[in-house]
Amino acid sequence: MSDESLLFQMVARMSMAATLAFILSQAKLFRRVNYRYVSWSDKIKLSVIFGLIGIAGTYVGIPINDALANSRVIGVMAAGLIGGPAMGAAAAVIAGGHRYFLGGFTAFSCALSSLCEGLLAGYVKKRYPNKPIPWWLALLTGLVGEIMQMGIILLTAQPFDQALQLVNKIAMPMITANAIGLTIFMLIIKTTIDAQNRVGAIQAQKVLRIAAKTLPYFRRGISQESAQAAAQIIYQYGGYHAVAVTDTHRVLSFIGAEADHHMTEENNFTKSTKQVIETGEIYIAEHAREIGCNHPGCTLKSAIIVPLKYSEKVVGTFKLYYTVSNLLSQTDTVFAEGLAQLFSIQLELAEIERESQQAAQAELKALQSQINPHFLFNTLTTIISLVRTKPMLARELLLKLSEIFRFTLHKTGKEITLEEELNQVRAYLTIEKARYGNKLTFKETIELNPNIYLISSLTIQPLVENAIQHGLKPKENGGTIYLLIREDMDFIEILLKDDGIGFDLVKMNPLQKPLEGHIGIRNVHERLQRQYGKRYGLTIESIPGAGTTVIIRIPKLIFMDGDIDAENFDCG
């Protein structure tokens, strides 16, 4: 047989390796393979598969002088180029061991060369761990590997004259055909991985785009309103024939084909939906019977149903439908799982936010309960002492006290105008001034219109109380509280200054560590930051013996006909 004829037959048999490469690239197992990492369990499976490809290359070999001109090396070296030395060696043991037991004077030489070529390909992979093997390197590796095989045959096969005659016959055809075959094999694999990555990237972009549009709705929790909005967005951008969202008891939204009867599934879900709610596992229905809809004539033929979870507890489902059987693909599954995970995260964030708001309300109530009892007791004592001597003042104090408690009852936790907050502060100071007399002086400067700007209730009053109790009360002659409110370009600044005893901020900073009796400062600061963002809140300046200044910074929120308008408000 001439070299040209042998080369032609080798090239013809090489097409089998290319066909196997294409079939392998479509397998689910191979879709998990990427350029950076192959798991050990997948390496074992792939080693067996590539070893079997090597065996197939042996069986289609061409008998030459009690030996075989074959394409076994393609499967072995492809294993090494994809999974590294261990995978190349494992595939070589399978394919080379099989060749050894077939016998012939080159049996040992072929088995040894298979192992060496598998390790060579694995070493090349180690040099390119995080990127695909370029075609020219696959070609060069195949050439070197086959030249090495010819050398091993000459060194180990006996008799030498027969080995030399064989190498002269098969060297050029095998080196050329197998190097080209390995290159084609790796190009097919690379093309498949690249296509898979492109599809994944497109799906990821679609998931993120849909997630960005649905985020504001699911952040409110799972409800009919949020489900309806989310399903509409997914139906618009996802390309599915129907989209549905449920909680654990009823269908919250169903948009698309067969919406009429599926929206009436209350307490009577399809069996597939019930299974997902019970197991918490994704369910893929490729045929109508697997969906389990009992409505006659339902056109929905395939579906993906994914659980929505909060803290591993199923709180609902997210469903994608087609009206054609077997239309679902791996990309649909990845898309559905990705969206469901993002939705679940948003639901958890919504719950955390709700719990945070509840905690803030509880904290505010705790602050009120701390302030009110001793304030009420002291005020009533003062009023009782004034009833006979100064009845008109006692009456005024009673009115101010009722005003304070009416405010506390109706305005707690709400945003009010600065004027309302100032009225609360003035009412409180009227009562305190009746107690302390000339020991307490209050001066205010308001450089803006307090009727148009909003502030969180109980922001200034707790700080005024703190200034009196811890700044002025310990001084024998009392002192003065100065209040200045002014506006900047994008925020409002409130300065509350007293000339009391002050304190050492290095030793005790109430914003960093709660101090006994100073809970109001920390509470106000944290409430403002939770509500408006980290750039807002309190700063404190204090000099022992000279007084304390608390600076409050809040965003410019304008109250206009019952609506709130923000100027440069950034909650980040």
pLDDT for 2: 52
pLDDT for 416: 85
Which residue stretches of 84-223 are H helix?
85-102, 107-127, 135-156, 160-218
Query: Is the domain 3-199 a CATH 1.20.120.1760 member?
Result: no
Q: How far apart are CA 393 and CA 391, in angstroms?
A: 5
Q: For 106-155, what is each residue's pLDDT tens digit?
A: 999 999 999 999 999 999 998 887 777 888 999 999 999 999 999 999 99
pLDDT for 196: 66
DSSP string for residues in 49-92 = HHHHHHHHHHHT-EEETTEEE--HHHHHHHHHHHH-HHHHHHHH
* Contact between residue 206 and residue 335 where contact means Cβ atoms under 8 Å apart: yes
| Host H or E run for residue 408 | helix 391-411
pLDDT for 61: 77
**Residues facing residue 303 across a β-bridge:** 285, 321
Q: Is the fold of 220-348 the same as that of 390-567?
A: no
> In this structure, what are the phi and psi dihedrals at residue 543, rounded to the nearest 5 degrees?
-125, 120
Give CATH for domain 390-567.
3.30.565.10
- Tens digit of pLDDT per residue, the chain (572 long)? 555 677 677 666 666 666 776 676 666 666 556 555 567 788 888 899 889 888 988 888 788 877 777 888 888 999 898 888 999 999 999 999 999 999 889 999 999 999 999 999 999 998 887 777 888 999 999 999 999 999 999 999 999 999 899 889 888 888 988 898 888 888 887 787 777 667 666 666 666 677 677 766 766 667 788 888 888 888 887 788 899 888 888 888 899 988 888 876 544 688 888 888 988 888 888 888 888 888 888 888 888 898 888 777 888 888 889 888 776 776 777 777 777 777 777 777 676 666 666 555 555 554 554 455 556 656 666 777 666 677 787 777 777 776 766 666 555 557 888 998 898 888 888 888 888 888 899 999 999 999 999 988 888 988 998 888 888 988 888 899 999 999 988 899 999 999 999 888 888 888 876 555 555 688 788 888 888 888 899 999 999 988 999 999 999 888 765 454 555 445 44
DSSP string for residues in 227-266 = HHHHHHHHHHHH--SEEEEEESSSEEEEEETTHHHHTT-T
Q: Which CATH number fits domain 220-348: 3.20.80.10, 1.20.1740.10, 3.30.450.40, 2.70.150.10?
A: 3.30.450.40
Q: What is the value of pTM for the model shown?
A: 0.45
| Host H or E run for residue 226 | helix 224-238
How many CA atoms lie within 13 Å of 410's alpha carbon, on the beta-carbon side?
A: 10
Distances (CA, A) of 400 to 11, 180, 403, 420: 101, 95, 5, 14
How many beta carbons lie within 10 A of that of residue 199, not counting itself?
14
* Contact between residue 157 and residue 210 where contact means Cβ atoms under 8 Å apart: no
DSSP string for residues in 544-565 = TTTEEEEEEEEEEEEEETTEEE
Instruction: Find, among 263, 234, 259, the residue nearest to 323 by Cα.
Output: 259
Return the exposure string of 372-402: e unless at least 16 CB atoms fall within 10 Å of the residue's CB, then b.
Answer: eeebeeebeebbeebeeeeeeebebbbebbe
Q: Return the domain boundaries, the chain.
A: 3-199, 220-348, 390-567
Q: How far apart are CA 442 and CA 464, in angstroms?
A: 10
Burial class (CB in 10 A: 0-12, 13-18, 19+), 260: exposed
